[in-house]
């Protein structure tokens, strides 16, 4: 069973149960392809209002233990319980109690990971799914991380994992044999992060409020757009939706860049972006976006299944927000 859009309308899989995963069905996979590899797959429509309500119920439980909560998604969050007095201050007991209360209130199972930092807690939360608890104590970190496959590290995608494999790096133990300078030369700024994660180091705090860095809209079409003219004809509608969404947050964010995304019929994709002056009066003007979209399409010159348009944002409420002063006094 899976949740997602219908194959007839270019739907994608949002999630699926473990039985479907055994056939290779995965999140973000095209529903039509998912049904080809798993013919008996039943796809049901998402019920977002229900998901939001259950999420609110779960977060109400979390709030009984700490106010240091960093949401990751509707059903995932980091909790910093360092200063919590609940359950005699035991994070493990709190996790057990939260799981039990969640089951009683919502009827769903919850997996939890307990560890000294966010990186390890996330790994631990996935360790005994779909209904489990994994605890990593400080004195267990070294042995646990040493045998961890590098593909489990945050930020290591398929391509990076393949690059590492060619270098003989399969586990964190292999990664530890590389010094920091060598990792930086090979992986750039990500090298330092890899050096730390291979040793179980993650000093990121739990962030209780998130601010946007970008805003975008995307349209997936029932049938591929055949050519450049058909692609460019979609730009005004995309911008109308994007502009409408931005109006709701315009007092909190300034636009710094505009960008477009094109996903071709063969599922390859490309993006293009350009700087946008803070003083620009028409950040959603059609022509600049048409120009970007045209350049993006010319990279493939193929039929198109998805188009996107968006803006990069500057947080006007950030503590370090800097305003560019005018060179001359305005009369």
User: 């964190």: which residue's tokens?
Assistant: 172
The answer to whether domain 48-136 has CATH 3.90.76.10 is no
For residues 290-304, average pLDDT: 95
Name residues whose C-beta falls within 8 Å of residue 77's C-beta, 6 or more positions apart in sequence.
58, 59, 62, 69, 70, 71
For residues 240-262, average pLDDT: 93
User: 């620009």: which residue's tokens?
Assistant: 280
Nearest to 228 by CA among 174, 286, 128, 298: 298
Residue 61 pLDDT grade (very low, low, confident, very high; cuts 50, 70, 90): very high
Q: Which tens digit of pLDDT belongs to each residue from 63-75?
A: 999 999 999 888 8
Cα Rg for the chain, rounded, in angstroms? 23
Name residues whose C-beta falls within 8 Å of residue 152's C-beta, 6 or more positions apart in sequence.
123
Nearest to 121 by CA among 175, 81, 174: 81
pLDDT greater than 60 at residue 181: yes
The answer to whether domain 214-315 has CATH 1.20.1260.10 is no
Give the three-class secondary structure for 222.
strand
Residue 319 pLDDT grade (very low, low, confident, very high; cuts 50, 70, 90): low
pLDDT greater than 50 at residue 243: yes
The answer to whether domain 141-197 has CATH 3.30.800.10 is no
Contact criterion met (CB below 8 Å) for 264 and 251: no
Q: Torsions phi, psi of 326, nearest 5?
A: -75, 145
Please tell me the least confidently modeled range out of 8-12, 19-23, 118-122: 8-12
For residues 298-327, average pLDDT: 80
pLDDT greater than 60 at residue 326: no
What was the pLDDT predicted at 13?
A: 94
Give the three-class secondary structure for 184.
helix
Please tell me the least confidently modeled range out of 97-101, 178-182, 275-279: 275-279
Q: Could you say which DSSP state residue 179 is in?
A: -
Please state the domain extents for the chain: 2-44, 48-136, 141-197, 214-315
CATH number for the domain formed by residue range(s) 2-44: 3.40.1170.60
Q: Which tens digit of pLDDT belongs to each residue from 125-157?
A: 999 888 899 999 999 999 999 999 999 998 898
Q: Which tens digit of pLDDT belongs to each residue from 41-59?
A: 999 999 989 999 999 999 9
User: Please, what's the largest Cα pairwise distance for the chain?
Assistant: 71
In the annotation, is 162 catalytic?
Answer: no
Spatial separation of the C-alpha atoms in residues 308 and 313, rounded to whole Å: 16
Spatial separation of the C-alpha atoms in residues 224 and 322, rounded to whole Å: 44
Looking at 70, 76, 228, 280, which residue is catalytic? Answer: 76
Show binding-site residues for Mg(2+).
75
Nearest-5° Cα angle at 243, 237 to 249: 150
pLDDT greater than 60 at residue 327: no
What was the pLDDT predicted at 279?
A: 64
């Amino acid at each position: 069973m899976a949740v997602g859009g219908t194959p007839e309308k270019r739907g994608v899989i949002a999630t699926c149960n473990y039985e479907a995963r055994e056939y290779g069905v995965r999140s973000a996979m095209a529903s039509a392809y998912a049904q080809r590899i798993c013919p008996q797959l039943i796809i049901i429509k998402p019920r977002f209002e229900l998901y939001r309500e259950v999420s609110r119920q779960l977060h109400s439980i979390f709030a009984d233990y700490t106010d240091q909560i960093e949401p990751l998604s509707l059903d995932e969050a980091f909790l910093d319980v360092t200063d919590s007095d609940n359950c005699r201050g035991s994070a493990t007991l709190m996790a057990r109690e939260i799981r039990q209360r969640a089951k009683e209130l919502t009827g769903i199972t919850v997996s939890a990971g307990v560890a000294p930092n966010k990186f390890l807690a996330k790994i631990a939360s996935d360790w005994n799914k779909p209904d489990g608890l994994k605890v990593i104590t400080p004195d267990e970190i070294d042995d646990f991380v040493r045998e961890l496959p590098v593909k489990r590290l945050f930020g290591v995608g398929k391509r990076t994992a393949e690059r590492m494999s060619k270098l003989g790096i399969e586990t964190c133990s292999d990664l530890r044999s590389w010094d920091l300078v060598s990792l930086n030369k090979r992986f750039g700024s990500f090298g330092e992060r890899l050096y730390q994660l291979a040793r179980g180091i993650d000093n990121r705090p739990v962030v209780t409020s998130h601010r946007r860095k970008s805003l975008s809209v995307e349209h997936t079409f029932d049938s591929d757009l055949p050519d450049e003219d058909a692609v460019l004809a979609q730009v005004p509608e995309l911008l109308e939706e994007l502009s409408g969404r931005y109006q709701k947050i315009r007092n909190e964010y300034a636009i710094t860049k505009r960008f477009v995304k094109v996903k071709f019929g063969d599922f390859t994709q490309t993006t293009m972006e350009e700087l946008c002056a803070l003083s620009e009066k028409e950040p959603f003007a059609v022509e600049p976006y048409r120009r970007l979209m045209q350049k993006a399409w010319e990279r493939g010159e193929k039929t198109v299944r998805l188009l996107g348009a968006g803006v990069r944002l500057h947080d006007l409420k950030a503590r370090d927000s800097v305003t560019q002063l005018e060179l001359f006094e305005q009369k």
